[in-house]
Structure 1
Amino acid sequence: MRFRNVDAEPSDPVETWPQEAMLAAVERGLLPDWCRIATALHKSPHGDVAVALKQAIETAEGDNGGAAVMQIVLERARR
């Protein structure tokens, strides 16, 4: 995965990704990218990553399987 027009790299800690990077991960990411987000969520299920992920899920365009998967990950992390 690559970020376009974002001042961050996918290799940066997920906690430092701007909102646009989180959206890119939801829309175009792959399992390894989602696993990194899930790990950050489990550390802080209501923190900044969770807030950014929720916004990305709500903003994701089209019939996006990544958004559906990440919604489940978010819900499970918060249980």
Structure 2
Amino acid sequence: MSKSPAHKIKLGLITATIWDNDGFYSVDLSRAYKNNQGDWQSTPSFAQGDLLNAAKCAERAEIWIARQMSKDATQRT
């Protein structure tokens, strides 16, 4: 994985982080929450109420990756 994400997509507390892995892309989905001390944390676990935003983030990530791969292919030619 690269050191910084290629792109991030956020919907509410859900984030799709897209990584450029030298020729292919991968996606991490996470949900933000505050711990007992009030500090922001993230988890890859989702409650039922998070699933629609997680699905939308995944769909938007897929669209972004498809567009980026098209740009990548154009730049190589």
TM-score (norm 1): 0.32
Larger radius of gyration: 2
TM-score (norm 2): 0.33
The structure in which a higher percent of residues are helix is 1
Higher relative contact order (CA 8 A, sep 6+): 1
The structure in which a higher percent of residues are strand is 2
